[in-house]
Structure 1
């Protein structure tokens, strides 16, 4: 009963602190913005992959039509573009798109998908040097900093929220003179600190895990249950570790 009273009082203290409400609101906005940014990048990847596949299909269709015309007595537009020649058929005109689709949790963690190519038109002229030049134009500063996704917020900004919630767990009540009143109840100082930390950890973990589940639900990532469990477990353990 005493621990329940401590938790209830802790909730009242946190709810009455305007600075803490602002901090939680700011971090909630950051989490949601990071999720929206990751979802936008995933949609961009999906559109790019679809465009690459469409272009490959159109090239194949054009070659088939030209071969049909030649078989019916027509002539190629140029000797160098004759689809019957191996170098023309295996070159840029007959290139096939090799794509890497976004993973189930791509909206939560962009990773290096903005640095490494995730689609390429493969032909007989493909080699390692041309593969690294995927033709995408991007601000190098953005590539250096990385995408502002949910993984970025969890790794770099979540510890700041943990510090903001836990730096004055005991000192604030000692300064306000309420610690002695709390300890007059049948509860030890260790239990009080443990209850306070557990309640604040629940806020942090609930915020991070809640936004993660929202993103997984919005992107349909529940198709990979193992990855969902691994992501949520990693977020919870990282938040508790910090």
Structure 2
């Protein structure tokens, strides 16, 4: 590890916006698909590293609801990545007791891709280690709209009173509810020197710490991940309050 990590102060839920695959490839005069393929290898390394240090949930932004705007060729390749990843690495994930989860919306996702995802979830459902959560065809605004619709249905049939709706109600209707009690993000990492949320876990990131790396995702190493965790451990999370006498004064 690049810096010493306190294993008693590990963020429960780390979310990563894996940015820069296309630019990594273009810088090497390669097709964008080459960057995505290389990025898959990094996912394996970071998942194993997160599991090693005791992260409870790792959510990776794999494909957004806005990514459909990309070229047909690139979208077609991205739809094949779950099969590429799970066919190659699922036995290793099971060996390390890593549970696979996928959040997002099935519409538009090819049936074969859906089948591969569901099979990976089924084969790891018994695992007790890291929850490796892929956000695939995911958008946070769409997630919140969906949650509101589900809550409204319950109100309309009388199984839920308007006065009873609170933050916990919304939380349990979000796509991340299966990750509870680790559904709120503690630490958001984004690669490639971009500094924005890009419609990713807007509710869950309400009080998360942010970390921005200059490197493209295919160049993001295990040592860089550990350095990011070490940086998190130097943060002072106050959740809107104060945490020491000096601040109170």
TM-score interval (norm. to shorter) = under 0.3
TM-score, structure 1 as length reference = 0.26
TM-score, structure 2 as length reference = 0.25
Judging by fraction of residues, say which structure has more strand.
Answer: 2
Instruction: Report the structure number with the largest CA radius of gyration.
Output: 1
Judging by fraction of residues, say which structure has more helix.
Answer: 1
